[in-house]
């Protein structure tokens, strides 16, 4: 089964203007923006480099406290905790 993504890039001065612009589009406007996602790209959680997740969490929140939440055929959910919730190891 192929997976496709539609990405619309708009150049608007505000989020509200961008939302208005996108809402004004109709289905046929999106057809030219369809891109097939490489099957190798979409392998689920097993393909995620946990070092990259550690790095992203460290960069955003100053710690590496994140957790895997769900992996479905449609999406992967990773939760980045704002505060480090882990107990210190002794």
Q: Are residues 57 and 89 in the same domain?
A: yes
Token pair for 4: 């496709």
Q: Are residues 25 and 51 in the same domain?
A: no
Among residues 75, 59, 82, the alpha carbon closest in space to that of 67 is found at 82
Q: What is the pLDDT of residues 25-81, one digit of tens each?
A: 888 888 877 877 665 544 555 566 788 888 888 888 888 888 888 777 677 788 888
Contact 61, 80 (CB under 8 A): yes
Domain total for the chain? Answer: 2
Report d(CA 56, CA 62) in Å as an integer: 9
Q: Has residue 90 got a pLDDT over 60?
A: no
28 to 58, 77, 90: CA distances (angstroms):
41, 30, 60
Q: Are residues 2 and 33 in the same domain?
A: yes
Token pair for 55: 């790095």
Q: Are residues 53 and 88 in the same domain?
A: yes
30 to 9, 21, 24: CA distances (angstroms):
11, 13, 12
Q: Are residues 58 and 34 in the same domain?
A: no
Q: Are residues 37 and 51 in the same domain?
A: no
- For 29, the domain range is 1-42
The residue written with tokens 């369809």 in the block is 34
Q: Are residues 31 and 53 in the same domain?
A: no
Mean pLDDT value of segment 2-9:
76
Q: Are residues 33 and 72 in the same domain?
A: no
Determine the pLDDT at residue 78. 84
């Amino acid at each position: 089964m192929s997976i496709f993504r539609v990405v619309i890039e708009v150049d608007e001065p505000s989020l509200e203007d961008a939302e208005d612009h996108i809402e004004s589009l109709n289905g046929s406007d999106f057809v030219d923006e369809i891109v097939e996602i490489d099957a190798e790209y979409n392998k689920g959680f097993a393909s995620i480099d946990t070092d990259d997740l550690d790095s992203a969490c460290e960069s955003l929140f100053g710690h590496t406290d994140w957790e895997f939440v769900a992996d479905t055929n449609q999406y992967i959910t990773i939760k980045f905790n704002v505060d480090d919730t882990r107990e210190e190891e002794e």
